[in-house]
Amino acid sequence: MFYKQCLVIVALLIVASITGLAGIGFHFLLDYAQWLVYHSHDLVGLSQVSQPYLSLSLIITGFAMAVIWYQLQKKGALISIKAQLFPKEEKEASPPILRHILHILTQVVSVSLGSPIGKEAAPRELGALSASHLASHFKLSAEDRSLLVASGAAAGLAAIYQVPLASTFFAFETLGIALRTKNVIFLLLSTGLASQIARPVISNQAIYSLQTLSTDWQNLLLAVLLVILITPIAYVFKEWTKKAEQKKIKTKGLLLGLPLTFTLLALVANAFPEILGNGEAMATRIIAGQPWDKVFFLTVIKSVMVVLVLRSGAYGGTLTPSFALGLALAYLLISPFLPAMTESAMVLGALIFLSTSIQAPISAMFLVIGFAGQGLSAYPLLGFTVALAKSYHDFFIKRYLFKD
């Protein structure tokens, strides 16, 4: 028993180290791809790129991604993280390494060049992939395998966004890991180590410059209002993306569908370049201040393009796009009437939309704390907001508003 536990710890340390180093690699790959194609270190400055060049780059990206993903899936489906957690056959326990690494790298490059979905799925998948192979190599039990795979996936999220605590909760809320002392320790160890390894390159500073919220009656009332208005919209977005993933094109239609979708993306990006990428460019621009009508169009176009790109065959996440969409919705709802409370509303809106779309309220809370640099004074307000949004979602929206 002691020997087996030592093997699990060794495997965990190896997976966390691989994932932390991979986070650094993804960071440089994303930065290099953007600089090589757009001569920019981020997608915020794409308004400086000529429209014909931007359009051509996006169309070529769509075609290249379609060819790669079609070829990768010709001989079989790509193995998901959940399938690796509880494998039913050998190929799920040890997915083909080269095929899945190419799939993972394709996700990173596509987002770096403008795909409007999140990059966070790629490091999670790499962590799970390395954990699956180590679990098979060390002949770990089914329980230890699932813990190791979940730890690897959580470590990937922790490394790329420097959010170890949020990533730990993410494993419990979305991957079905039991809440036990051993599991908590192992997950905290893996996410903490991976984030520390990546930290010399990936900053742990807040991504967005937003004020720290205080838990006062004005913000509590604001949270109630935003929960009522934003949660149903987030629910619809969640259902759309879920159906898009379920009906994702994986056959030859991918060779036509994805290039056509990227052509449409190129057309709308000429007027609204902020929709490109994982949502950071859009959120950054809105925080800096944008006309109400422009934010409205950005919100609609971004949400539609996320769904279309996923349906057309692309792979990626919806975590960071959800943050940006929630922030934008709050801006639209509050800025015309209560401009002094717009910043507070954007934080709360991002939290409500994110917690609803990923159905992981505690993870969403700590992700927003990390992304928006929220201090301890905000914790009671944020906790109240996610609890209210979760209750509203479960006991009203699903039962009455959008009853099947």
Residue 203, in any domain of the structure: no
Nearest to 356 by CA among 301, 400, 393, 315: 393
Q: How far apart, in Å, do the first and last CA atoms of the chain sit?
A: 48
Q: Quick one: pLDDT at residue 156?
A: 94
Q: Quick one: pLDDT at residue 403?
A: 66
Residues 362 and 247 in one domain: yes
Residue 205, in any domain of the structure: no
Residues 235 and 96 in one domain: no
Task: Give the Cα separation of 348 and 102 in Å (integer).
Answer: 37
Q: Quick one: pLDDT at residue 40?
A: 76
Residues 180 and 112 in one domain: yes
Q: What is the CB-side half-sphere exposure of residue 326 using CA atoms within 13 A?
A: 35
Residue 211, in any domain of the structure: no
Residue 208, in any domain of the structure: no
Total count of domains within the chain: 2
Residue 296, in any domain of the structure: yes
Task: Give the Cα separation of 4 and 141 in Å (integer).
Answer: 9
Residues 136 and 249 in one domain: no
Q: Quick one: pLDDT at residue 3?
A: 66
Residues 278 and 320 in one domain: yes
In Å, how far are 162, 164, 333, 363 from 356, measured between CA atoms? 22, 21, 18, 11
Residues 85 and 121 in one domain: yes
Task: Give the Cα separation of 344 and 226 in Å (integer).
Answer: 11
Q: Quick one: pLDDT at residue 170?
A: 93
Residue 210, in any domain of the structure: no
Which residues, 6+ apart, have CB-to-CB distance to 63 below 8 Å?
258, 259, 262
Residues 237 and 336 in one domain: yes
Q: Which of 147, 170, 198 is the last residue of a domain?
A: 198
Q: Quick one: pLDDT at residue 2?
A: 64
CATH number at residue 130: 1.10.3080.10
Helix (H), strand (E) at residue 318: none
Task: Give the Cα separation of 156 and 167 in Å (integer).
Answer: 8
Residues 231 and 266 in one domain: yes
> Domain span at residue 78?
2-198
Residue 315, in any domain of the structure: yes
Residues 343 and 241 in one domain: yes
Residues 298 and 161 in one domain: no
Residues 242 and 381 in one domain: yes
Q: Are 311 and 244 in contact (CB under 8 A)?
A: yes
Q: Which residues of the chain have pLDDT under 70?
A: 1-3, 41, 44-47, 403-404
pTM summary value: 0.94
Residues 28 and 151 in one domain: yes
Q: Which of 170, 198, 226 is the last residue of a domain?
A: 198
Residue 204, in any domain of the structure: no
Q: Quick one: pLDDT at residue 178?
A: 86
Task: Give the Cα separation of 358 and 238 in Å (integer).
Answer: 7
Q: Are 189 and 16 in contact (CB under 8 A)?
A: yes
Task: Give the Cα separation of 11 and 148 in Å (integer).
Answer: 8
Q: Which of 134, 168, 198 is the last residue of a domain?
A: 198
